Structure 1
């Protein structure tokens, strides 16, 4: 590691896909997003791409609530990095997939956490998927 202070991300991490899907009861949870993590000088900025692709059926108000929840999840997960790896990032939302029954703000908040974890895994060369245990 360099003696210089490091920040997240050290370089652009593009096309990070995050899915939060849980089917344990009705309704279930579903959120899918694609985001970029782009370095900036300081702080965290959340942006929506001008060509945002939105898949599924949701009202304008619902999509806005989902974007807000996604941003919250991303900010919470980046805050967990804390002093270990300060965030200096613009997060750009490129795509959202919703389900008319199973999507809700909590699912998108969880997808925000997953997006940061997937970006970190990509940065460190690890698979974002957990390995299955053999019984």
Structure 2
């Protein structure tokens, strides 16, 4: 992941309003998921919850939205579990807003946007990952 393993605990401070988008248009149907989340310092481990009334943009049925939330939580957990051994994860992730597309949104897109949200939060907390150096000829 390229995160500074000397960083200690993730998140080091509240990271609010982290917006993540996963949109891929390679064919029809495509993939689309957009979320806004907060990463709050918490007890050791990963706690995931939706705000009491998360804003939902786009039409989606209740059971379908629940499947999207579950997939999003899976993506969050997968990405955080893959962090280096030097980082202790102690986070509450609060889903604040969801945006869906009636054709292109599906659980797989929400799993991926969960991973993207963690990467965005890591960049906000520790700075962007180091860029690969060019080799000289």
Q: Secondary structure at the match of 2:52?
A: strand
Report the equivalent of 1:118.
Answer: 120
Instruction: Give the distance between the partners of 2:70 and 2:43, measured in 1 at CA.
Output: 23
RMSD in angstroms over aligned alpha carbons? 1.9
Query: Match of 2:46?
Result: 44
Report Cα offsets for 1:10-47 as digits up to 9, x if no partner: 11000000000000000000000000000112111001
The equivalent of 2:11 in structure 1 is: 9
TM-score (norm 2): 0.86
**Please, which runs of 5 or more residues in structure 2 have no aligned partner?**
132-137
Q: Which ranges in structure 1 are unaligned for 5 or more consecutive residues?
A: 131-135
1:71-126 CA-partner distances (Å, limit 9, x unpaired):
00000000010423121000000000000000000000000000000001111233
CA distance in structure 2 between the partners assigned to 1:83 and 1:91 by the alignment: 20
The whole-number CA distance in structure 1 between the counterparts of 2:125 and 2:102 is 33
CA distance in 1 between counterparts of 2:128 and 2:16 reads: 16
1:88 maps to which residue?
A: 90
Distance 1:10 1:123 in 2: 7
Asked if 1:74 is matched to 2:76, the reply is yes
Runs of 4+ in structure 1 off by over 3 angstroms are: none
Deviation digits for residues 51-76 of structure 1 (CA, Å, limit 9, x no counterpart): 30001011101100000000000000
Partner of 1:97: 99
